[in-house]
Chain A
């Protein structure tokens, strides 16, 4: 049985059916004119041989082609792209099954950040009354390491609401190079969580090693196909409307191997996409559809996700403003477009602009997490622990995020209202009204034990003080102390024997014991 996720019964929609059709039409027109610039020769050739208008652009320092994609090509791709995508997991019970027309939401971590935020607590005394003390968290940034990635995967394995794992931190150890980063990144994740693992690739040269590792863990090439424990994310289209050479090549290689891959586009309204909603949605939709079309041309039927990471520009710096209300609007629009095509959607929420956990980060992330969840994306990259856009990761924040996702999940439970329920309730009301004290307390008891009552906020203090951070920190330490199910010793030995570049300290049965 796959993970349950949350089924959103009546997903929030911003666009009317007519507006969805209008966006689709505009995207089709954009794909024809102006079309896309393509910096990858093989992709240009594939488009050309399948009937797209392709013309070499002369005078450019870098080889480049102008690709105009006809609507028929897109329609065929949308037809052949699977409407149900399974993302497997080391523990098959953690598999994710996503249907493009079903608003079942899975919560996923990520993205890759350069900075890891440690937490320490200092005690401060009141100047006028030194007996009054408070503990204040201090957040200490440093470069992320592979050990951090292991810890992050370990904690996320135990966070109840995390359905799948996208690496949260860029591993920047001295002995990590471009040639060994991917294998170590994937192994660190796979060895510390039994949930699905998704990542981007640093080097295409490492793709086969990563796939071989996954095959060893899954049992064989065929078993990996049945239970794809890994998947990939590629930003092959850079906004506006440009197929990037290396990521497009990586994308095509992944598609050839038939492993699930996210076709992701991340335009910024105001700089790399139009500022207005209609504009950015028409453009991102065109960009994602162009990627999906290429993937299906490379390998008809290969599983893809409609990946949308639209964001509005900050007006002060022109950097990304993930916390802008419009960012959530764009994401919800994209969820609707993906559902229109019945392709499972990768959406984004929870990324905040602030640099450290606190009130601002809570407000920013919770707002987008709630509204985007309500729209029903299948694969919601909801940024557990992410801060400062995509720059900083803090495990303490991930623990805090888990608690608010528990609330959102509870909120979305289907209401239990039916004739049997109402008959029982009417009897209950009649019985209680007849008692002298007229209280329903006795009827709470069994309901409390069935999980039908939402739990209190877990980091509430016993007194009037706000100890959320220190209580969450205690919880974090508990989770780190809980064991995780590592890859078994024999498979680990095979992996270290067959896959070059793995750091010996990651072998928990030998040097890393």
Chain B
């Protein structure tokens, strides 16, 4: 029954389980189908992708959000749920494309050249996927020219740049300059983050937004996506 499987998908988000091997929050969940298995099964059963998103994923994330506000859930729980949603969206993407459903937006994300620190960038990736964006994660220590090349090829609406070091944060500015020189700057909104950077720094190098943490990064992207101006 479609309702049953959507219930299970919703529960899988709440439990933050990607595959059947994941523990989730409650006991004895290992072995029960996780998000990957449930979405595949739902599609085979002919459940509408839009119903999966609206009644399953989005509804579940609202519950997770409420639990977070009530301090029943913590950031790792939010991340686990977001990761489960992200995985669901990846599996659903071809189906959505076939149905003519436009995704919320595409984001390229990278830790800039010279910087190997990627915890923050990875967290932002998970949260953005969980929020329904298609995220292409280039990884860390990414050459400026490779970021420019990816923007040119993928045509994303957003570019996320991350750095942890004061010595590498300058490469964010170089990247923005390189995008400008390539004529791509106006085609992509750029959001930066990382311990040494700030809203003022983002403004000074010509970025469109700054996320102090993963949640703020998503909020800024959502704001830019809805036509408002990032941190403003």
A residues in contact (CB < 8 Å) with B: 431, 436-439, 441-446, 448-449
In contact, B74 and A446 (Cβ under 8 angstroms): no
Partner of B126, one of A431, A437, A444, A448: A437
In contact, B125 and A446 (Cβ under 8 angstroms): no
In contact, B80 and A437 (Cβ under 8 angstroms): no
Q: Does B212 contact A (CB under 8 A)?
A: no
**A446-B23, A446-B25 as given contacts; A441 in contact with B80, CB under 8 Å:** yes
Partner of A445, one of B76, B122, B126, B137: B76
Cβ contacts B63-77/A at 8 Å (1 or 0 each):
000000000001011
Partner of B23, one of A439, A442, A448: A442
- Chain B contacts for A445, CB-based, 8 A: 16, 23, 25, 74, 76-77, 80
Total of A-B residue pairs, C-beta within 8 Å: 34
**A437-B122, A448-B74 as given contacts; A442 in contact with B80, CB under 8 Å:** yes
Report how far A266 CA is from B27 CA in the complex, Å. Answer: 54
Partner of A441, one of B23, B76, B137: B76
- Chain B contacts for A431, CB-based, 8 A: 21
**A446-B23, A446-B25, A448-B76 as given contacts; A439 in contact with B119, CB under 8 Å:** yes
What residue in chain A is nearest B26 (Cβ atoms)? A446
Q: How far is the CB of B118 from chain A (nearest CB, A)?
A: 8
Report how far A443 CA is from B122 CA in the complex, Å. Answer: 16
What residue in chain B is nearest A448 (Cβ atoms)? B74
Q: How far is the CB of B230 from chain A (nearest CB, A)?
A: 22
What residue in chain B is nearest A439 (Cβ atoms)? B122
What residue in chain A is nearest B18 (Cβ atoms)? A442
Q: Does B79 contact A (CB under 8 A)?
A: yes
Q: Does B11 contact A (CB under 8 A)?
A: no
List 12 other contacts, CB 8 Å, given A445-B74, A448-B74: A437-B125, A437-B126, A439-B119, A441-B79, A441-B80, A442-B16, A445-B16, A445-B23, A445-B77, A446-B23, A446-B25, A449-B25
Partner of A442, one of B76, B122, B123, B137: B76
Report how far A437 CA is from B127 CA in the complex, Å. Answer: 13
A sample of 24 cross-chain residue pairs with beta-carbon separation below 8 angstroms, ordered by A number, consists of A431-B21, A436-B137, A437-B122, A439-B119, A439-B122, A441-B76, A441-B79, A441-B123, A442-B23, A442-B76, A442-B79, A442-B80, A442-B83, A443-B23, A444-B76, A445-B16, A445-B23, A445-B25, A445-B74, A445-B76, A445-B80, A446-B25, A448-B74, A449-B25
Report how far A442 CA is from B126 CA in the complex, Å. Answer: 12
- Chain A contacts for B25, CB-based, 8 A: 445-446, 449
User: Closest 7 CB pairs between A and B?
Assistant: A437-B122, A444-B76, A441-B76, A445-B76, A441-B79, A442-B80, A445-B77
A-contacting residues, B141-189, CB 8 Å:
none
Report how far A443 CA is from B25 CA in the complex, Å. Answer: 10
- Chain B contacts for A448, CB-based, 8 A: 74, 76
Q: How far is the CB of B221 from chain A (nearest CB, A)?
A: 19
Report how far A431 CA is from B79 CA in the complex, Å. Answer: 18
